[in-house]
Amino acid sequence: MKSIWHDTLPLPSYPSLPGSIRTEAAVIGGGLAGILTAYYLTRSGIQTVVLEARRIGSGQTSGTTAKITAQHNLIYQKLIAGFGEEAARQYVSANQQAIREYTRLIRSKSIDCDFQEASACLYTRLPGDALSQEYKAASRLGIPAHLSADTELPFPVRNALYFPNQAEFHPLKFLKAVANGLTIYENTPVLSAKGHHLHTPLGEVTARHIIFACHYPFLLWPGLYFARMYQSRSYCLSLAGIPPLKDMYLGIDPGGLSFRSARKRLLLGGFGHRTGIIPDNSYQRLQNFVHKYYPAAKTVSHWSAQDCMSLDQVPYIGPYSFLEPDWYVITGFNKWGMTASMVAAQLISRKICKKPVPWESVFTPRRIRLKASWREAMTHLSESSRGLALGLLHPNRRCPHMGCRLKWNPYECTWECPCHGSRFSHQGKLLSGPAQTSASVPSR
Ligand SMILES: Cc1cc2nc3c(=O)[nH]c(=O)nc-3n(C[C@H](O)[C@H](O)[C@H](O)COP(=O)(O)OP(=O)(O)OC[C@H]3O[C@@H](n4cnc5c(N)ncnc54)[C@H](O)[C@@H]3O)c2cc1C
């Protein structure tokens, strides 16, 4: 089913690549990250094209809950411990600047995208001091924050951590406005890249600068992003008949329930899992919650989406690999791609324009942060090795990306790769990458 955003807004369509072209910059991917990056590059006078495999805004951006916030779950204690205080300050500053830039851009261009200020709130119903610790870390980094047990949620909480002056919007209305005036080619998948050349079925694009904003980079080499990221899938319901919430909420307890209101609906999300490792029926679990806490509510629509999870919880934004000096990458948003897309757009456009980039080092894909990433790295290595080994035993259900065994998700009726998160329809048609071709799968 389509998300609330797609249901309320058809996006305009753009032509396909007309044949081989030359340009200064080529952005691969027309999600929020790609369109924003193309916008800032174009505004800086760099001739830029966007190459989108399907339609703009048809990827994970259409399934987001679109909270624009620097409150990224429990991150600040971990950042200080794993990256150090200076890097944690850079992360805060980049994300706070992103919120300010959204506000400036939307107001200055009068973009009608349901943008409104709201507080972001992490809550817990369990005993423990995780939120107090996060509050201390946030305060140390200069984030205005406060603790309170008062929320608008339909159950009592033990504690809640508020960040005021955050925001929310309609991501596709925003995307549509920002895309207006850019050079965009839809239905133009990039199949391979070499130096300054991108190969598509419709012609070759030669570009001085190449930006991979295609969610999960599809090339195995260089960059080795397959070894540094997995994907995590979450589920959403849109509910009618519930008074609107003023603020946005995320639970830190198991299930990680997320709440925000939009267009007279409550968006309830949660019960995420590593893509391809399928637990119970997440939609049913959300419905059980609704029956218990919002018995009068009506479920209007449901959908799911997934995001790339870096191993140290920080996105990869910057030079793609030292082997390709004119390539850049934007990925690994850890489900916080609204502010991260804005950070990326500013960072990459400034870098290409040779302007100073204040927060480059915390996001650089060249970093190695063993202290912050070793646990996730072990899990990723073990899941990937298992998936690859099982792929050898099950040649009739192998992912075309690297050959891992695909798992059947009965709740979405999709085949999913537990190693890197590619997804396919019941007939094996490609739904989302890093795989770039369909898979051969048993009939269902
Ligand atoms: C359930 C859920 C809720 C979320 N809620 C929030 C939230 O409240 N706040 C927040 O900050 N973040 C949130 N996120 C995260 C956020 O939605 C994502 O990080 C963000 O939308 C990713 O944008 P993107 O542009 O990188 O990817 P996408 O939107 O997926 O765009 C990538 C594009 O690249 C194209 N592409 C792929 N391969 C190729 C190719 N070879 N050639 C050409 N084009 C290609 C695809 O078709 C796609 O259109 C949420 C994520 C999930 C899963």
pLDDT at 443: 84
Over the stretch 10-48, which tens digit does the pLDDT of each residue have? 899 999 999 999 999 999 999 999 999 999 999 999 999
Pocket test for ligand 1, best of 333, 348, 363, 431 (most atoms within 8 A of CB): 333
- What atom in ligand 1 is closest to the CA of residue 233? 53
State phi, psi for 357 to the nearest 5 degrees: -120, 105
Residue 278's pLDDT band (cuts 50, 70, 90): confident
Q: 103-140, pLDDT tens digit by residue? A: 999 999 999 999 999 999 999 999 999 999 999 999 99
Q: Any idea where the domains of the chain sit in the sequence?
A: 4-64+172-227+313-367, 371-432
pLDDT of the residue at 293: 97
**Rounded distance from Cα 338 to ligand 1 centre (Å):** 9
pLDDT of res. 197 = 98
pLDDT of 6 above 90:
no
CA-angle at 349, arms to 27 and 75, nearest 5°: 95
What is the distance in A from the centroid of ligand 1 to the CA of 61? 4
**Which atom in ligand 1 lies closest to the alpha carbon of residue 191?**
41
Q: How confident is the model at residue 168 (pLDDT cuts 50, 70, 90)?
A: very high
Given the CA of residue 214, which atom of ligand 1 is nearest to it? 34
Reply yes or no on whether the pLDDT at 240 is more than 90: yes
Ligand 1 centre to CA of 116 (Å) is 22
Selected residue with higher pLDDT from 326 and 380? 326
Q: 110: CA distance to ligand 1 center in Å?
A: 24
Closest Cα partner for 65 from 173, 168, 179, 216? 168
What are the pLDDT digits (tens) for 77-101?
999 999 999 999 999 999 999 999 9
Q: With contact defined as beta carbons under 8 Å apart, do 367 and 341 qualify? A: no
Atom of ligand 1 nearest to the CA of 340: 11
What average pLDDT does range 240-244 have in this prediction?
A: 96
Q: Whose CA is nearest to atom 53 of ligand 1?
A: 306
Taking all residues of the chain, what is their mean pLDDT, rounded to a whole number? Answer: 96
Asked if the 4-64+172-227+313-367 domain carries CATH number 3.40.50.300, the reply is no
Tokens describing residue 362: 């915390």
CA distance 56 to 62: 10
User: Closest Cα to atom 33, ligand 1: which residue?
Assistant: 29
The whole-number pLDDT of residue 181 equals 96
Pocket perturbation via mutation, ligand 1, pick of 49, 61, 274, 316 by most ligand atoms within 8 A of CB: 61
Pull the structure tokens for residue 7: 């249901």
Top mutation candidate among 335, 341, 423, 438 for ligand 1, by most atoms within 8 Å of CB: 335
H-type alpha helices, 118-180: 130-140, 171-179
The CATH fold assigned to 371-432 is: Rieske Iron-sulfur Protein (2.102.10)
Say what the pLDDT of residue 104 is.
98
Which ligand 1 atom minimizes the distance to the CA of 234? 1
Domains 4-64+172-227+313-367 and 371-432 agree in fold: no
Among 270, 273, 293, CA closest to 283: 270
Residue 356: other Cβ atoms inside 10 A: 7
pLDDT grade for 234, boundaries at 50, 70 and 90:
very high
* pLDDT tens, residue by residue, 384-424: 999 999 999 988 899 999 999 999 999 999 999 999 999 99
C-alpha of residue 406 to centroid of ligand 1, in Å: 22
Protein residue with least CA distance to atom 4, ligand 1: 64
Amino acid at 441: V
Residue 1 has pLDDT above 80, yes or no: no
Best residue among 95, 170, 184, 214 to mutate for probing ligand 1's pocket (most ligand atoms within 8 Å of CB) is 214
Q: Measuring from atom 35 of ligand 1, which residue has the nearest CA?
A: 29
- Counting from 1 in the atom list of ligand 1, the atom nearest the Cα of 236 is 1
**For residue 378, which of 312, 431, 294 has the smallest C-alpha distance?**
312
Distance between CA atoms of residues 437 and 431, nearest Å = 9
Query: What is the pLDDT at residue 23?
Result: 98
CB-defined site of ligand 1, < 6 Å: 28-34, 51-54, 58-61, 63-67, 189-190, 213-215, 218, 234, 236, 269, 305-307, 333, 335-339, 341, 433, 436
Cα(133) to centroid(ligand 1), Å:
30
* Residue from 27, 60, 210, 225 whose mutation best tests the ligand 1 pocket (most atoms within 8 A of CB): 60
Cα 32 to middle of ligand 1, angstroms: 7
Judge contact between 118 and 127, C-beta under 8 A: no
The pLDDT > 90 percentage for the chain reads 94
